[in-house]
């Protein structure tokens, strides 16, 4: 199973890169799907018939079970680690680009100008902490802007923070997700 194990480590690494960590159950299913219908499958069945008392296996149970996964994790502990992970929405990475945020802010400011909440200035200007135009560079706060808020009290800001909540991170009952280590000393966050 060594060649299957190294392939499985590579797959876990690729899944980690696309921010799709796997659980123990998913890892076992992945390993079973890799050997299913191959010569490894046939040789494993023959070995289990010879060495395991409870064989022949019922069709409901996978050939590679919890014992296999436990041994896989021990042998590959320098590559793969288990910890609580966060599943990321796949669309977030696609849409959170500089160009998309730039376009969103341009459209929001355009609507604020049309609604009379803001005005567009002739040049990019620095503001102080209170939101007024800074007289000197020393009192400037934040980045320069080409918009001035005329009626900030009329601006209603709604934010949705449910995506940063860990309540829906995909972990079930303390189930650990698996990721690939960059190297033995420097773990990479998922």
Lowest-confidence pick of 6-20, 27-41, 87-101, 140-154: 87-101
Q: If pLDDT is split at 50, 70 and 90, which confidence band does 159 have?
A: low
pLDDT at residue 184 in the model: 34
Q: If pLDDT is split at 50, 70 and 90, which confidence band does 125 have?
A: very high
> Tens digit of pLDDT for each residue in 74-124?
888 888 877 665 655 666 667 778 888 888 888 889 988 998 989 999 999
Domain boundaries, the chain: 2-87+169-180, 97-154
pLDDT at residue 113 in the model: 92
Q: How far is it, in rounded angstroms, from Cα 20 to Cα 88?
A: 7
Asked if residue 20 has pLDDT above 60, the reply is yes
pLDDT at residue 121 in the model: 93
DSSP state of 46: H
pLDDT at residue 115 in the model: 87
Q: How far is it, in rounded angstroms, from Cα 95 to Cα 81?
A: 29
CA 34 centroid distance within chain: 24
């Amino acid at each position: 199973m060594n060649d299957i194990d190294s392939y499985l480590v590579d797959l876990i690494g690729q899944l980690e890169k696309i921010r799709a960590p796997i659980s123990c159950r998913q890892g076992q299913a992945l390993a079973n799907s890799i050997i299913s219908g191959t010569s490894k499958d046939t040789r494993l069945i023959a070995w289990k018939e010879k060495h395991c008392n409870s064989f022949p296996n019922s069709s409901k149970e996978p050939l590679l079970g919890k014992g296999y996964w436990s041994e896989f994790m021990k042998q590959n502990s320098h590559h793969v680690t288990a910890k609580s992970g966060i599943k990321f929405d796949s669309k977030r990475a696609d849409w959170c680009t500089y160009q998309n945020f730039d376009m969103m802010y341009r459209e929001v400011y355009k609507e604020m100008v049309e609604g009379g909440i803001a005005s567009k200035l002739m040049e990019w200007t620095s503001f102080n902490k209170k939101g007024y135009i800074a007289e000197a560079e020393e009192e400037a706060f934040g980045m320069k802007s080409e918009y001035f808020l005329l009626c900030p009290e009329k601006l209603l800001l709604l934010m949705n923070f449910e995506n940063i909540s860990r309540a829906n991170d995909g972990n079930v009952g303390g189930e650990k997700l698996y990721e690939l280590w960059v190297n033995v000393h420097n773990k990479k966050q998922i």
